Structure 1
Amino acid sequence: MTKVVNVHEAKTHFSKLLARVEVGEEIVIAKAGKPLARLVPYRERPTKRVPGTAKSLIVVGEDFDDPLPESIQRLFER
């Protein structure tokens, strides 16, 4: 459950609120009873993927799409 605190309480108990956020809790800070902000755990954004960075690291064999050998194909037909 999200805890709602007023601005004065948030300023007075900021360290305690941060400790609660650190373990995953979400805190809503309100001013005159109206929600104003959310205090949530910080999460790193994943780095943006750049196409082509693995170029020349992966080699696809000439026989990649050839039919499987009969002995291996039988294992998939059980």
Structure 2
Amino acid sequence: MLFNISYTEWVGYIASLALIISFLMKNLSTLRIINSIGAILFVIYGIMLAISWPIIITNAFILMANIYYLTKKRKEALNNGN
């Protein structure tokens, strides 16, 4: 416990902060990367809450969507470079 806040709550707060910061990004790739960090932290948070499936499922989906679009954009950039 730090500042009388449990470690589980800290993970939730940091995940929320990552999501807030991600939406301040102008670059969509940067937004997706930071948003993915937040989603990973929320999955960990859901596990720490003795398995909160709604949090885990939602954020796992968000993470997979971010990975899909980041991968797609990278492949397009590689194809345009050749």
* Structure with higher RCO (Cα < 8 A, 6+ apart): 2
What is the TM-score with the length of structure 1 in the denominator? 0.26
Larger Rg belongs to: 1
